[in-house]
Structure 1
Amino acid sequence: MPRNRPGALRARRGPFDGRRPPAWTRELPPLDRLSPAASALIHHVLRGRAPDLAVRLALYRAFLDRPGGRLLLVRPTVPACPGCALDDIAAVRDELADLYRGLTPEARSALGRVLRTLDAEFRRRTLPDPAPVPVGRDRSGRPLPWWRRRLYEGT
């Protein structure tokens, strides 16, 4: 039976398989409900953008922790204000998706478990937009994600 060369075996592994992230990442605070190892890996992969991820997860979780049954999305009060864009939870979820796509497979699976739980709650507590208009497109021409097709206040 032929055996695989060591280089071929190493090529199949991800960048952090069997290795721990650097010590400085293990000293940083853990991210929202992620294990210390997963948090360290995300800190290492995102470099200085991990606090952005923590803030976005906290905003997403705070939106879902509101009392009551159904939730309606809120449009930003001042659309041109960069900080006001975070009032729209769909924009926060867009940024979480962008950060998620930039992770390694190991970090993506850890963050994906958290996002799947939050997304299930988001789907359960928000309503789909019943408007008969065709599904919009984003800047790249892809259809808008499902969280962009939820019901907003005042519609």
Structure 2
Amino acid sequence: MPRRRPRALREEQALSHVGGPTPPFRIHGLSTGASLAVHRIEGLSRGSSIHPGATDRALRRYREFLHPPGRRPLYPQEAFCSCSWCSFDDVRHARDVLNEVLERLPERARGELGRLVKPLDALFLRRTLPDPFAHRRPWRARLWLYRRLADRSEWG
């Protein structure tokens, strides 16, 4: 049997990796194992809000909303479009996605992601104002995130 040249072997290997699935990326702040668990949940989810990359996007959006300079109150604004990409404009939707992923994760990965989200939740409560009319909206009043004032620009 003739020997195969190294160049031919390298080309074969390169071609075999082109069409394969992309490896999961690591979510900033999570271990590789927890990131892989999140990737599995996103890949297996049939819901419209959880799709590959949604957890990382939701976590980045939540951090971005909570870390502008200054001490002024923040007001979440509702998304103008309900598509899965634009709905992250509403930081409350991003937090809802994180909550849904937290419910589906195994215990260890849930603990890791929970340790990232818990201080952000405390900061959200500190930087937003309570809505005095939340009791009039019973469909949203059950969620603590929606009992905060909203509908103004996030930047003042």
Q: Does 1:32 align with 2:28?
A: yes
Give CA deviations for 1:120-154 in whole Å, capped at 9, x if unaligned. 1111111111126345226xxxx521111111135
Does structure 2 retain, via aligned residues, the 8 Å contact 1:32–1:57? no
Task: Report the Cα offset of residue 45 of structure 1.
Answer: 4.4
Give CA deviations for 1:20-72 in whole Å, capped at 9, x if unaligned. xxxxxxx6432121123332333344446452110110111111112222211
Does structure 1 retain, via aligned residues, the 8 Å contact 2:130–2:148? yes
SS in 2 for 1:137: helix
Aligned match of 1:104? 106
Does structure 1 retain, via aligned residues, the 8 Å contact 2:38–2:101? no
Task: Provide the rounded CA distance (Å) in 2 between the counterparts of 1:147 and 1:46.
Answer: 23
Aligned match of 2:133? 131
Give CA deviations for 1:72-129 in whole Å, capped at 9, x if unaligned. 11122x2445433221111111111111111111111111111101111111111111
Q: TM-score, normalised by structure 2?
A: 0.67
Matched residue type, 1:126? T
Aligned match of 1:149? 147
Q: Does 1:71 align with 2:67?
A: no
- Displacement over 6 Å in runs of 4+: none
Q: TM-score, normalised by structure 1?
A: 0.67
CA RMSD of aligned residues (A): 2.3
Query: Alignment length, in residue pairs?
Result: 123
The share of aligned pairs that are identical, in percent, is: 33
| Structure richer in helix, relative to its length | 2
- List aligned pairs for 1:32-51, cutoff 5 A: 32-47=28-43, 49=51, 51=53
Which segment drifts farther, 67-76 or 82-91?
82-91
The structure with more radius of gyration: 2
Task: Provide the rounded CA distance (Å) in 2 between the counterparts of 1:34 and 1:68.
Answer: 28
Query: Paired residue for 1:56, among 55, 58, 67?
Result: 58
Does structure 1 retain, via aligned residues, the 8 Å contact 2:54–2:97? no
Aligned match of 1:20? none
Task: Provide the rounded CA distance (Å) in 1 between the counterparts of 2:111 and 2:28.
Answer: 14
Unpaired segments ≥5 residues, structure 2: 1-22, 45-50
